[in-house]
Amino acid sequence: MNTAEKQAAEIAIRARGLTKTFGSLTAVDNLDLIVRRRQIYGFLGPNGSGKSTSIRMLCGLLTPTSGEIEVLGLSIPAEAEALRQHIGYMTQQFSLFADLTVRENLEFLAAVQNIPRQQAKTRIGELLEEYHFTDRSEQLAGTMSGGQKQRLALAGAVIHKPELLFLDEPTSAVDPESRRDFWEKLFELTDAGTTILVSSHYMDEAERCHRLAILDRGRLVADGSPAELMADLEGRTLLVETDHQRQAKQAILSVPGVISAAQIGNSLRILGERGQGSADSVRAALKSAGIAGRVSETEPSLEDVFVAVTNQQPERADAGTGT
């Protein structure tokens, strides 16, 4: 295998010019994407940014208006049927049967995947232990907590040991502790060789991804590791400590180049455009308004990245209803 073939083999998902329109609405707009194997790749964006629509196209559930998709070496949507045995898919809504037990749900999913009975029995035993359901195997799924339901849904999504797992905002309805446990399971899966594409609107979850795409109104506005994206904002984030946050915010937002001023506890977090909104200009604005305060540079956060890249997007008349 030559170098080019090796590089191609390391790519789980490749999309070029991926576009989806619904009438006059452009839900996904000319998306180019590369997801490498054995990593967690995140889609970050607000509701209406095109995350769910993109995932549905990538796994063959929705036909794109234009563009090319290759997933695990298969052309999508033409080879979507062949792809299904190699992928798992999980949505934010609990999609299993509430009136079946944990074990019965897994048995049903094993049958759907055409896993031989003895092999399915062994695999279900493994999943009950790995996902901490050994003492709950006969409990009705509908009686479990939100976090337990999501763990069961994840166990069901990987029952056939897929190479690639699509997760569409899987933790939106669970508590922080359950979210943390859920992500530990995701890292275990990638350690075992599974590639994961997960959408989220939680900044702390996005920081856990190996690589991240930020979508806004159907467009890809940033792509890189969380560390790379935050490093690109170096020198553009400030912290203002003052006893008069509300008045200070009004004064600072009048400074040319200041994109946002967010109150965080007893301080203000300031984001400026590249080369503008400097610490000196913020100090001058506070002094002019007669407000005492301490201004210092601070490390960029992923939320700063999100605000910066979405602020660059021009308004679009058809925006706002994509998912």
DSSP codes of every residue in 75-89: EETTTHHHHGGGEEE
70 and 87 both lie in a single domain: yes
Distance CA 39, CA 212 (A): 11
122 and 165 both lie in a single domain: yes
10 and 96 both lie in a single domain: yes
289 and 189 both lie in a single domain: no
255 belongs to a structural domain: yes
181 and 273 both lie in a single domain: no
Cα–chain-centroid distance for residue 82? Answer: 26
And the tokens for 266?
A: 């007893």
Are the C-beta atoms of residues 92 and 111 closer than 8 Å to each other? no
Name the residue with higher pLDDT: 91 or 53. Answer: 53
| Residue 201 pLDDT > 80 | yes
307 belongs to a structural domain: no
In the listed set 211, 229, 247, which residue is the last one of a domain according to the structure? 229
33 and 169 both lie in a single domain: yes
And the tokens for 292?
A: 């005492």
Distance CA 257, CA 237 (A): 12
| Residue 152 pLDDT > 80 | yes
Can you give the pLDDT at residue 94?
75
Distance CA 39, CA 42 (A): 10
Average pLDDT over residues 92-115: 92
Can you give the pLDDT at residue 91?
85
The neighbouring-strand residues paired with 216 are 219
How distant, in Å, are the alpha carbons of 94, 182, 246, 264, 266 from that of 286? 50, 45, 12, 18, 16
| Residue 6 pLDDT > 50 | yes
295 lies in which domain range? 235-299
Least confident of 75-89, 169-183, 277-291: 169-183
- Kindly report the CATH number assigned to the domain that includes residue 221: 3.40.50.300
16 belongs to a structural domain: yes
Can you give the pLDDT at residue 48?
86
Query: 318 falls in which pLDDT band (50, 70, 90)?
Result: very low
312 belongs to a structural domain: no
Report percent pLDDT > 90 for the chain: 79
Average pLDDT over residues 278-307: 95
110 and 73 both lie in a single domain: yes
Can you give the pLDDT at residue 130?
94
Q: 3-state SS string over 38-62?
A: CCEEEEECCCCCCHHHHHHHHCCCC
In the listed set 177, 206, 229, which residue is the last one of a domain according to the structure? 229
- Which of 41-50, 131-140, 308-317 has the highest average model confidence (pLDDT)? 131-140
Number of Cβ within 10 Å of residue 264's Cβ equals 11
177 and 285 both lie in a single domain: no
Distance CA 144, CA 120 (A): 23
Strands 195-200 and 164-168: parallel
**For 13-24, how does the pLDDT look when each residue is reduced to its tens digit (9 = 90+)?**
999 999 999 999
277 and 220 both lie in a single domain: no
Q: Considering its fold, how many domains does the chain have in total? A: 2
Distance CA 121, CA 166 (A): 25
Least confident of 85-99, 155-169, 272-286: 85-99
98 and 246 both lie in a single domain: no
| Residue 193 pLDDT > 50 | yes
Name the residue with higher pLDDT: 23 or 315. Answer: 23
267 belongs to a structural domain: yes
176 and 260 both lie in a single domain: no
42 and 69 both lie in a single domain: yes
Distance CA 65, CA 68 (A): 10
Average pLDDT over residues 303-320: 71
The amino acid that residue 60 corresponds to is: G
Average pLDDT over residues 143-150: 91
The amino acid that residue 135 corresponds to is: D
- Kindly report the CATH number assigned to the domain that includes residue 274: 3.30.70.100
181 belongs to a structural domain: yes
318 belongs to a structural domain: no
208 belongs to a structural domain: yes
Can you give the pLDDT at residue 312?
66
Are the C-beta atoms of residues 190 and 139 closer than 8 Å to each other? no
Name the residue with higher pLDDT: 5 or 85. Answer: 85
Query: 252 falls in which pLDDT band (50, 70, 90)?
Result: very high
| Residue 268 pLDDT > 50 | yes
Query: 314 falls in which pLDDT band (50, 70, 90)?
Result: low
Can you give the pLDDT at residue 316?
46
Query: 320 falls in which pLDDT band (50, 70, 90)?
Result: very low
In the listed set 177, 202, 229, which residue is the last one of a domain according to the structure? 229
Can you give the pLDDT at residue 4?
59
